[in-house]
Amino acid sequence: MTVATINIQLDDDAAQIYTTASEEDRKKIQLLLSFWLRELDLPSVSLADLMDDISEKAQQRGLDS
């Protein structure tokens, strides 16, 4: 996986937390941010659609009331 460097603006408290974090914690933050940004590129599903899908699957499995 290639790595790119970006600059983002943060509030002062968040920036201080990041800059004073251990190297291990900074890597965790970078990984979480990377995952979160990738999720923004996925099509979003509304809560109603998600609930309908879960209900339909439950009915198919005989779990309806």
**Cα–Cα distance measured from residue 6 to residue 28, given in angstroms and rounded to the nearest whole number:** 16
Which one has a higher pLDDT value, 55 or 65? Answer: 55
Question: What does the block give as tokens for 20?
Answer: 């004073």
Give me the pLDDT at residue 45, please. Answer: 84
| pLDDT average, residue stretch 12-25 | 98
- pLDDT for the residue numbered 62: 85
Joined together, the tokens standing for residue 16 give 């201080």
Q: For tokens 């996925």, name the residue.
A: 42
**Range list of H helices, 1-65:** 12-20, 23-40, 47-60
Residue range 34-60: mean pLDDT, rounded: 89
Average pLDDT on 32-54 reads: 89
Whole-structure pTM value: 0.61
Confidence of residue 65 (pLDDT cuts 50, 70, 90): low
